[in-house]
Amino acid sequence: MAIEIHWIRDDQSLAAHCSDWRQLPFVAVDTEFMRVDTFYPKAGLIQIGDGKRAFLIDPLLIGNWQPLADLLEDNGVVKVLHACSEDLEVLLRLTGRLPQPLFDTQLAAGYLNLGFSMGYSRLVQEVLGIDLPKGETRSDWLQRPLSDTQVSYAAEDAVHLAELFIAVRPRLSDDKYAWVLEDGAELVAQLRRDVEPEGLYRDVKLAWKLAPQQLAVLRELCAWREREARQRDVPRNRILKEHSLWPMAKSQPSNLAALARIDEMHPRTIRQDGEFLVQLIKRAASLPPEQWPPVLPEPLPIEASGILKQLRAVGQAEGERLGIAPELMLRKKTLEALLKSGYPNGPYQLPDSLRGWRRERMGQALLNSLAGAGETR
């Protein structure tokens, strides 16, 4: 059956359609973008599905995104997306807003125990019985005109995404539907939290092995790299390779020759930013001790793996009881944060990352499990 496609190529048309969409209970939202040599994704197409038709918004021709921003933040209209982390970045970049309430069909599949982290084509096949053609994911979505194949692919995505919502919503209990929306709100909150550049050093591999003075250097290097990547709109590794950060903080090269000997140091970086980096390292290294970050906690020892497995079992048991994909229950990072809060002898504290229904249903069971582990050691 041919899909009814409507193009939106000017501000007036976008405003009129957004006004119409705000009268609906839900809209499906999808994006096509390019992200090859840039920090930020470049939007090539925005698709909206209303359950019957596909609307294709050409972002290269739109100047005023306020109507779409207002739609995204309209609490009366559920926004349906699939595996939406990159879509959220595209929408935030274009409109300055993020969708709420957000229903992610990939999450919904997990809550229905259809599978964890299911791809879009597989979910469409599983729920709707439709075999989608091979994707156009490698297409140039910034080219104009778009090919007929691209247009068809984009329109199908919008229509079938809406159909997925219509099909899976009745299969979710009210509790599970609320939990999908809760997880959607958390995805949005994570993007809004957007870690400050000065906090990124904590994520560098082996950063816990560095002394506080070396961590001060690492902190400044990571913050500079992040800001420059955003400002120049290039990938972080084009500014400074990930694997160069730790040895720079450790050895603190004081001239260009020493800098050039750092692992994976690109000659282009030496040419463009070498002198600046040497000075940055010198300044960060000479900060007074009261401005040094504290030592980072060591990773959990290998002996803790058994307790982590025990904690995962709490989530798996609850997942089985509720008919939810076990991988959706408790994140590894959350369990590690819980264990680190008091390892090895306690007391333990539930981490902030354990929120909402998961905290209510499993928080006490996790603490009880740790108390039991302490008794058996």
How confident is the model over 322-348, as pLDDT tens digits? 999 999 999 999 999 999 999 998 899
* Number of domains forming the structure of the chain: 3
Q: Which of 74, 104, 157, 183 is catalytic?
A: 157
- The reply to whether 30 belongs to the active site is yes
Percentage with pLDDT > 90 across the chain: 92
Distance CA 17, CA 301 (A): 56
377 pLDDT more than 60: no
User: Residues 285, 327: one domain?
Assistant: no
How confident is the model over 288-332, as pLDDT tens digits? 999 999 999 899 999 999 999 999 999 999 999 999 999 999 999
195 pLDDT more than 90: no
How confident is the model over 104-135, as pLDDT tens digits? 999 999 999 999 999 999 999 999 999 988 76
Contact 91, 32 (CB under 8 A): no
Work out the average pLDDT over 56-64.
98
Name the nearest CA neighbour of 33 among 121, 140, 160, 132: 140
| Domain end (from 178, 193, 208) | 193
The confidence band for 192, taking pLDDT boundaries of 50, 70 and 90, is confident
User: Residues 122, 67: one domain?
Assistant: yes
User: Residues 12, 144: one domain?
Assistant: yes
User: Residues 159, 102: one domain?
Assistant: yes
- The reply to whether 87 belongs to the active site is yes
The confidence band for 137, taking pLDDT boundaries of 50, 70 and 90, is low
297 domain-assigned:
no
- The reply to whether 111 belongs to the active site is no
138 pLDDT more than 80: no
| Domain end (from 246, 268, 291) | 291
**Which residues, including other chains, have CB under 8 Å from residue 132's CB and lie 6 or more apart?**
120, 121, 124, 125, 156, 160
How confident is the model over 73-90, as pLDDT tens digits? 999 999 999 999 999 999
Distance CA 97, CA 178 (A): 22
- The reply to whether 263 belongs to the active site is no
pLDDT of residue 139: 86
| Domain end (from 229, 263, 291) | 291
Q: Which of 120, 153, 177, 348 is catalytic?
A: 153
Work out the average pLDDT over 186-205.
91
User: Residues 219, 264: one domain?
Assistant: yes
- The reply to whether 140 belongs to the active site is no
* Residue ranges making up the domain that contains 330: 302-376
Work out the average pLDDT over 236-257.
97
Q: How does DSSP assign 280-348, residue by residue? A: HHHHHHTS-GGGSPPPPPPPPPGGGHHHHHHHHHHHHHHHHHHT--GGGT--HHHHHHHHHTTTTT---
3-state secondary structure (DSSP) of residue 37: coil
Q: What is the CATH number of the domain that holds 156?
A: 3.30.420.10
How confident is the model over 170-181, as pLDDT tens digits? 999 999 999 999
296 domain-assigned:
no
54 domain-assigned:
yes
Q: Which of 74, 87, 89, 163 is catalytic?
A: 87
